[in-house]
């Protein structure tokens, strides 16, 4: 059975891009007993080396990102309300009426004009971000300033539940990926492996770019969460991937054309590991692979993602079986990547 308690802790930890400290501390505590070495990059990513049964012919880096989408306070108004900017590609339609936590644990809500007072045409339209603000209950600018400052992080308050074959929670993009990596570090891999927990994916892949430079890998597996559009109102051919269909393997997205051979290997790995997997049936989105595969002289890279509904909102949904299948698939894929290079060396 999976460690839902750990995933819950990871999901509830607050860490918008650039302010991943709480998530990082949690991960460090979990992985230290299993890591041969742990270093922190100058931007705050964790680079952890895990000893395997054998020395790896190739340096393989498996990465997941620690940050989540959210908001940051930009300004405090005369009335004590907070203006904000979004951090990462938040879906603005989900903002009005949400509960949030600001800075050091201050409760707030995203305010919106009451439905009774809307003008004709307003009730059917999502609220433009520039009209939204956060209300922390302050009666004045002075009172607000005692509690928060511009630059403070704003995260959604959310729910966590692992029941009925699914997991619902906040920031499963990409804390679910972090949980997969942590789980993998707790069992001895076949080959020495580098695990990277990187910062700032949601604002431009900055953590992955710099971690890849530091690690200098020959190959990389990016463990992510990707949009599952298997919801009412979306035609089957537009659903990208589906919950319960297994981890998602990408051939191409907006950032990366993936290594063709690794793409094939991933499907074989799933078969050999006895788990389902599915192709990402759209050229959409992007992830840390975009920065990793062009690091230094180039890195052969593949992404294995968990299908996740409502990706950049306050609560996502993943399937437990996909989550449980991912480490099995990735472990086998890692071995195959190493063995591929071993056999290549023999030629």
Q: Is 22 exposed, middle or buried (0-12, 13-18, 19+ CB in 10 A)?
A: middle
Q: How far is the CB of 263 from another protein (least distance, A)?
A: 22
List the one residue from 56, 314, 325, 329 that touches another protein (CB under 8 A).
314
Contacts with another protein: how many residues (CB under 8 A)? 63
Single out the catalytic residue among 20, 201, 202, 335: 201
Decide: is 97 part of the binding site for another protein (CB under 8 A).
Answer: yes
Nearer to another protein, 205 or 243 (CB): 243
Instruction: Work out which of 32, 231, 268, 298 binds another protein, going by CB under 8 A.
Output: 231
Residue from the set 3, 22, 91, 190 that interacts with another protein by CB under 8 A: 91
Among residues 292 and 314, whose Cβ is nearest to another protein? Answer: 314
Q: Does 157 bind another protein (CB under 8 A)?
A: yes
**Helix 320-346 vs helix 172-185: angle between axes, to the nearest 10 degrees?**
60
Report if residue 164 touches another protein, rule: CB under 8 A: yes
Residues 173 to 192 in contact with another protein, rule: CB under 8 A: none
Does residue 1 interact with another protein by CB under 8 A? no
Active site residue 201: yes
42 to each of 28, 29, 292, how far by Cα in Å?
16, 19, 17
Q: Which of residues 210-229 bind another protein (CB under 8 A)?
A: 227, 229
Answer yes or no whether residue 114 interacts with another protein by CB under 8 A. Answer: yes
| Neighbouring C-beta atoms of residue 130, cutoff 10 Å | 7
Residues in 8-37 that interact with another protein by CB under 8 A: none
Element (H, E) at 195: strand 193-198
What 3-state DSSP class applies to 255? Answer: coil
Task: Choose the binding region for another protein from 25-33, 66-74, 87-95, 288-296 (rule: CB under 8 A).
Answer: 87-95
| By the rule CB under 8 A, 321 interacts with another protein | no
Position 74 contacts another protein (CB under 8 A): no
Q: Which listed residue (64, 138, 291, 303) binds another protein by CB under 8 A?
A: 138
Report if residue 296 touches another protein, rule: CB under 8 A.
no
Interface with another protein includes 124 (CB under 8 A)? yes
Would you count residue 116 as binding another protein (CB under 8 A)?
yes
Distance (Å, rounded) from C-alpha 133 to C-alpha 156? 14
Q: State how far the Cα of 91 lies from the Cα of 108, in Å rounded to an integer.
A: 19
> Between residues 175 and 300, which has the closer beta carbon with respect to another protein?
175
Q: Does 278 bind another protein (CB under 8 A)?
A: no
Q: How far is CA 240 from CA 233, 237, 263, 291, 332, in A?
A: 14, 7, 17, 23, 24
Angle at 284 between CA 281 and CA 288, to 5 degrees: 110
> Which long-range contacts link 254-257 to residues 24+ away (Cβ below 8 Å)?
254/283, 254/284, 254/285, 254/286, 254/290, 255/205, 255/286, 255/287, 255/289, 255/290, 255/291, 256/286, 256/287, 256/289, 256/290, 256/293, 256/301, 256/303
Q: Measured from the CB of residue 215, what is the shortest distance to another protein in angstroms?
A: 32
C-alpha pair distances (Å), 177 with each of 72, 207, 227, 264, 321: 24, 15, 14, 21, 14
Which positions are catalytic? 201
What is the binding site for another protein (CB under 8 A)? 79, 81, 91, 93-94, 96-99, 106-117, 123-127, 131, 133, 135-139, 143-144, 147, 157-159, 161, 163-168, 227, 229-234, 238, 240, 284, 309-311, 313-315, 317
């Amino acid at each position: 059975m999976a460690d839902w308690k750990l995933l819950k802790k990871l999901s509830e930890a607050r860490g918008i891009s650039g302010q991943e400290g709480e998530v990082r501390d949690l991960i460090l505590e979990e992985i230290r007993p299993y890591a041969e070495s742990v270093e922190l990059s100058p931007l705050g990513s964790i680079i952890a080396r895990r000893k395997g049964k054998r020395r790896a012919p190739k340096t393989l880096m498996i990465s997941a990102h620690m940050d989540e989408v959210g908001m940051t306070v930009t300004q405090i108004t005369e009335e004590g309300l907070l203006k904000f900017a979004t951090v990462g590609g938040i879906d603005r339609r989900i903002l009005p009426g949400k509960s949030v936590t600001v800075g050091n644990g201050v409760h707030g809500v995203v305010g919106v004009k009451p439905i009774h007072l809307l003008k004709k045409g307003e009730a059917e339209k999502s609220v433009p971000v520039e009209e939204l603000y956060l209300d922390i209950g302050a009666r004045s600018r002075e009172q607000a300033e005692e509690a928060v400052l511009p630059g403070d992080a704003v995260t959604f308050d959310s729910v966590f539940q692992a029941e009925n074959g699914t997991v619902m929670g906040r920031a499963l993009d990409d804390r679910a990926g972090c949980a997969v990596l942590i789980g993998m570090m707790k069992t001895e891999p076949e080959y020495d492996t580098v695990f990277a927990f990187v910062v700032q994916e949601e604002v431009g892949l900055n953590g992955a770019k710099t971690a890849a430079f530091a690690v200098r890998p020959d190959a990389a597996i990016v463990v992510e969460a990707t949009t599952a559009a298997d919801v009412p109102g979306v035609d089957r051919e537009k659903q990208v991937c589906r919950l319960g269909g297994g981890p998602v393997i990408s051939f191409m997205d907006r950032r990366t054309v993936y290594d063709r051979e690794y793409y094939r290997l991933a499907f074989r790995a799933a078969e050999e590991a006895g788990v389902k997997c599915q192709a990402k049936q759209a050229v959409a989105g992007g992830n840390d692979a975009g920065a990793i595969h062009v690091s230094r002289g180039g890195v052969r890279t593949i992404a294995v993602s968990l299908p996740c509904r409502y990706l950049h909102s306050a609560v996502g949904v993943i399937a437990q079986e996909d989550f449980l299948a991912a480490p099995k698939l990735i472990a086998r894929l890692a071995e195959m990547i190493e063995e591929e290079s071993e056999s290549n060396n023999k030629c």
